[in-house]
Structure 1
Amino acid sequence: MTFRVILAIAALAAVAGCSSPVYRGSVASFGDATQAAAQAQTKRLSTLSDSQISDIRGDLAQNGVLLAYAPECALLAVPGSSIDDCKVVRRDGAPIDNPESFASIAALNKAMGEYGANLAALAADASEDGAAFNTSLTNLAVSVEGLSAALGGAGTKDQFEAVGAAFGGIGTATFAGARTSKLREIIVAVDPQIQQATALLSAASEALTLSEVTTSLQRVERAERALASAYANNASTRDVQRLQDRLFDEVAALKRSAAARDAYANIGQTHAKLAKASRDRASKEDLQGSIVELSKLVKLLSESADPF
């Protein structure tokens, strides 16, 4: 994905004198980068949830907690039984801790990814079929509705009215100018919601980095203690080398976690730049500014594309 976006930005710079294709290309590149950022954030949330599950189960084992399956599991063959009631339980009756679900952030992140994907699709739509264009428009409207729902309906009445008006269809218009005008209108109207969403997701990203670094540091410390214990107990050279390799690997993982960068702050800034270019009818100077911002965003995503 990153390589494609870089090529798109290079192409945009080469045709900067033609405002409509450059504008649509800028928007498409932004959409691709936003979708990539959302996918990366989803992976981080999933990794954190898996880590919490591992820690909870490790504590149960270390504390010698006796486990069993719930009696409801035996009833699953009976029609109408609830699958959710079949689970592992503690024999002492105490509840088993659950990992945090991060449901609201996950939903907002998913909505941002869908917005990026559908925005890119709409910007890249070169079809002369007005019905096909309106289908792309509808898909983008659905993703914006999902974004609003994930934000909990945050926004003023004027903002909602502006967004609704922006998504009015353009009938069977086939001219690229009419479609580009509609794209500009949508980006301007949706920008307040994008700014709210990216601010929340940026804060979540920073919290994720703190959690990842803390967890990774704990693993480094465990690896160091294991190596020290091996030395103290005159372990074989092979075992010592294995534990040394583990310590090297854990320190490298710690550095990768600490190097993770928040893409969402940059996404918010870039969308604001696109909104400004949209209001100003996408002047050459504003488009070049957008391309510069997109270049920064692509570099940022490239640096943190695989932090684990």
Structure 2
Amino acid sequence: MKVDFGGAGDILFEQVGRAGIVTLSRPASLNAINHGMVSALARALSAWEADTAIERVIIRGEGRAFSAGGDILDVYRAGLEGEASPDFFADEYRLNAAIARFPKPYIALIDGIVMGGGVGVSFHGSHRVMTENAVFAMPEVGIGFFPDVGGSHLLSRLPGELGMYLALTGNRIRRGDACAAGLATHSVDAGNLSALTEALCETDNVDGTLSLFAVAPEPELNEGIRHAIARHFSFESLTEILDSLSGDQDDWAHQTLATIEKRSPTSLCVAFRQVRAGAMLEMDECMTMEFRILNRMLAGHDFYEGIRAVLVEKGSTPRWQPETLGEISEEYINSYFAPLPEGELKL
């Protein structure tokens, strides 16, 4: 039975058996999350939380991606005209927090790319199911932004400093590494997703049903690289991490350092601080912190420069300001985390 919570066809809702099913339905845009989709999903979760006929929620993507991120080009255009608004992000962050506290099983079936805003509507739920096609990344430092949508909560809790590595590089991982880190709770083969979805709509036992379909993938990163990540990214300052990578003669360390050095210096400093801070914060506190950062990013330079270089004039080299880490003071980074004079995010 189809249900209408809005979203202008970009996000679809239906009730099947005991489940509310959400389908991200913008395949031509890799299911990029827009404001209408955020509002519609928030309405659906509010209604389904109170509906005793809905015992669980399943979210999936149409086409070859789960969701490649947030639809931020409108934010970019508004910013160029001096009219940047945090409203989309405020509603998105409220949704991320609502998913984290949702009292019923929330099962994300992740087949294909999942990044940025797509992570926000999937990985805060109780069950994160990845297929062999799934690719996870938080690549925001490459566009002068930061790992938001709850990235400070999610990444800070990954073992072996994997979260800090992902935040500072923006690199991708697949299901084997995601399962090993607890980022994904289950792995299934893509060919079984339809049968799994049908079973999840009828079963008395969500965990048992997922276990029946689950496979056990091997981590893609070898043991040596996992140890290197844990060693290099464990330091208590960004400078120490970079010095550690620089002092290692291994090719992997050199490549990783080269990747980081292409990122926005401001974004790197903010991402390092937020991941370290996030480990000590609850989800709602993380969203409050991220909204503070977001407002400063919208008022800055690198976010718009990164989108111009990466998404608008694809393939050009961004010109970051400040250009180097040495130009960035502690006071400057502190300003990104300071309370908002105009009021904090209301959750």
Which protein is bigger by CA-based radius of gyration? 1
Same fold per superposition (TM over 0.5)? no
The one of the two structures with greater contact order (alpha-carbon pairs below 8 A, sep at least 6) is 1
Structure with more of its chain in helix, by fraction: 1
TM-score of the two chains, using structure 1 as the length reference: 0.25
TM-score between the two structures when normalised by the length of structure 2 = 0.23
Specify which structure has the higher proportion of strand.
2
